[in-house]
Amino acid sequence: MFNSLNSDVSIGDSIFYKIYAQDNSLLHNSDSTVLNKFKIINAFLCQDFSGTTFPPTDWSLEYSGTPYWLRDAVSAYGTGSGSTTYQFYDATAGTNQSLITLAFGNTVPGDSLKFDHAYCTYIDEVDQLQILTSTNAGATYTSLITLNGGVSGPLVTAPPNLNPFTPSAGQWATKKFALPAGTNKIKFTGLSQYGNNLFLDNICVIGNTIGISNSLNESVPQSYNLSQNYPNPFNPTTKINFSVPKNGLVTLKIYDILGKEVMTLVNETVAAGNYDVSFNGSNLASGAYFYRIESGEFSAIKRMMLIK
């Protein structure tokens, strides 16, 4: 038996499980699924570039000509088995290219972006990393921050180097930035001044609460699905998970027992994938509520209970 209480599990724990089914016949025939696994995390997204596919599944690149965002075998602080690099050393001045995350569930206030980085310049060239966020799955972006390189900018983790830079385990640093509420996609843009290489690793969007990620099944879902919220009953926050098999407009709304709309959680075009949304009922009275999802011809509704 698995006890899912937060006090009994820790972030980083891996949970293995099978689902068993038994019929009602005299023989009590039974079968089970394959062994599945999920990992306890507190992140919407966490990419360590350990896989050899680049860009990673559902990530993308924006570039023309030669791509300078690449995967490298070096990893942050000497642990792990990969990272991504933007090769300022080879990208002539004015070459700007972007690495874009997959779409993920909307962030809420207090959520943040965290990543490891390593960089040095060639002599004194001020390469830049611009980080942009989107609240509409990449239709538009807003600049979050621009980090300068050069000799002493916030990107710098090592002294200037006339050779192509590859960081040692001790030449890494970690950055963390608060994200705007509703963020569901992030773009990393390298702005080259022909300096030296930048490395990024362990790019994570971190939430305030513990969640799960299914590490054995990250493929695009085959059908629409709306899951029962958890916890239920709840006070005052709960999570709602849904899946969409193709890009499209999704609305997710909350209704009271009389059918009056009280809140819109999602109303935007999203990419195919699995999503989770936080619902905070602190401004609502105790009682039964309903949540309804619509996307294309798909519609589903479920009941939840707020108890204060």
CB 271 within 8 A of CB 293: no
Residue pLDDT, tens place only, 191-231: 999 999 999 999 999 875 434 333 334 456 789 999 999 89
Extract the tokens encoding 23.
């019929």
Extract the tokens encoding 295.
């996307």
Confidence of residue 31 (pLDDT cuts 50, 70, 90): low
The predicted structure's pLDDT at residue 268: 79
Q: How many residues does this entry show for the chain?
A: 308
Within 10 angstroms of residue 142's Cβ, the number of other Cβ atoms is 10
According to DSSP, residue 107 is labeled P
The three-class DSSP label of residue 77 is helix
List domains and CATH numbers for the chain. 44-211 (2.60.120.200), 220-308 (2.60.40.1930)
Burial 45-58 (b: 16+ CB within 10 A, else e): bbbbbeeeebbbeb
Extract the tokens encoding 71.
């995967």
Can you tell me the distance from the alpha carbon of 210 to that of 44, in angstroms, rounded to the nearest whole number?
A: 10
Can you tell me the distance from the alpha carbon of 263 to that of 34, in angstroms, rounded to the nearest whole number?
A: 39
Q: Which of 85-89, 168-172, 216-220, 296-300 has the lowest mean pLDDT?
A: 216-220
CB 133 within 8 A of CB 144: yes
Can you tell me the distance from the alpha carbon of 249 to that of 172, in angstroms, rounded to the nearest whole number?
A: 40
The predicted structure's pLDDT at residue 217: 41
Confidence of residue 95 (pLDDT cuts 50, 70, 90): very high
Residue pLDDT, tens place only, 252-277: 999 999 999 988 888 877 777 788 88
Map tokens 């407009």 to a residue: 249
Map tokens 């990673």 to a residue: 56
Stated pTM of the model: 0.57
CB 238 within 8 A of CB 289: no
CA 88, 89, 91, 93 torsion: positive or negative? positive
Give strand pairing partners of 33.
none
